[in-house]
Amino acid sequence: MEENEIRSKLRKFICTEIMNDAEYPLKYDEPLITSGLIDSFSLAQVGVFVEIEFQIYIPDPELTVDNMNTIDAMAARIKEKMG
């Protein structure tokens, strides 16, 4: 799967399921947690979404603000796990 496709799926999920605002023009490099768009607790949702959608398990200690603050950072981690 291409990184762009991963980004696009992540953006759709975050906007509709976490932000509850499907129309929000979320950029791939826009800070999510440090800007207050989503809270750090929501990373559990991202973790489970990635498990279901991409069949990838991101361990709990990796679900941190430092690692997952933008869609770009999330997609890079997923791509890395996919090998």
Which x/- pattern, by CB under 8 A, does the window 53-72 give for another protein? ------xxx-x---------
63 Ramachandran zone, left/alpha/beta (phi>0; psi -120 to 50): beta
| Cα 50 to Cα 35, 42, 59, 75, distances in angstroms | 22, 13, 11, 10
Stretch of residues binding another protein (CB under 8 A), selected from 2-10, 29-37, 68-76: 29-37
Q: Which residues bind another protein (CB under 8 A)?
A: 17-21, 24, 30-31, 35-37, 39-45, 47-49, 51-52, 59-61, 63
